[in-house]
Amino acid sequence: MAERTGEEKARLRVFREGSLDQGREEAWRALITAHAAAVERIERGLLEAGLPPLGWYDVLLELSAAPGCRLRMHELARAVVLSRSGLSRLVDRLEKAGLLRREPDPEDGRGSFAVLTNEGSRMRERMWPVYAKGIAEHFGAHVSDEEAAVLCRALGRVRDAARGS
């Protein structure tokens, strides 16, 4: 492929400028494709089991881990990495399904809490085995203990930096 040598040179130049070496570019591409492919499989598992999609689980998990099973909308949006409007609609759907309810914040008239209902808690418990099976099958099975530890640390730093905390 002689026509790519010029292109390759251009790439290498940009790598230096942007401090992005080839190893990191490949790692990034592996990250986005692995994520897309694994999520697609796991979503399919949930769908086939007649369960709600992944995004619902994330919300239910964050709420059940929060003190009083409640979070302010903006905290929840941050936790699940969604825009405020996206979260507002997602909470609409969960509320309509009875899995959570909105409650005004008595200390801040602008804000409201999303509060997990018992039904939401039960749904999370129903979803978890299917989700866990998907993670184990499409992710865990291909990653060693040591690799999992490295992923956790490195991606934890990426997450914290990008989320701004």
Q: What is the DSSP letter of 106?
A: T
Dist CA 117 CA 57 (whole Å): 14
* Residue number, 107 or 145, with CB nearest to its own copies: 145
Question: How many helical (H) and strand (E) elements, i.e. helices and strands, does the chain have?
Answer: 7, 3
- Extract the tokens encoding 6: 């010029």
134-144: b (≥16 Cβ within 10 Å) or e: beeebbeeeee
Per partner kind, with CB cut-offs from 5 to 8 A, the member of its own copies, DNA, none near residue 8 is none
Q: Are 132 and 147 in contact (CB under 8 A)?
A: no
Per partner kind, with CB cut-offs from 5 to 8 A, the member of its own copies, DNA, none near residue 119 is none
Q: What is the per-residue DSSP string for 31-94? A: HHHHHHHHHHHHHHHHHHTT---HHHHHHHHHHHHSGGGEEEHHHHHHHHT--HHHHHHHHHHH
- The answer for residues whose C-beta is within 8 angstroms of residue 128's C-beta and 6 or more apart is 57
Least distance to its own copies from the beta carbon of 23, Å?
5
- Extract the tokens encoding 35: 């994520």
* Residue number, 23 or 106, with CB nearest to its own copies: 23
Residue numbers 1-40 binding its own copies by CB under 8 A: 1, 7, 10-11, 14-15, 17-21, 23-28, 30-40
Residue numbers 110-149 binding its own copies by CB under 8 A: 125, 128-129, 132-133, 135-136, 138-145, 147-149
Does the footprint of DNA cover residue 84 (CB under 7 A)? yes
Least distance to its own copies from the beta carbon of 100, Å?
17
- Site residues (CB under 7 A) for DNA? 40, 43-44, 47, 53, 55, 72-74, 77, 82-93, 102, 105, 108-112
- Site residues (CB under 8 A) for its own copies? 1, 7, 10-11, 14-15, 17-21, 23-28, 30-41, 58, 64, 67, 81, 125, 128-129, 132-133, 135-136, 138-145, 147-159, 161-163
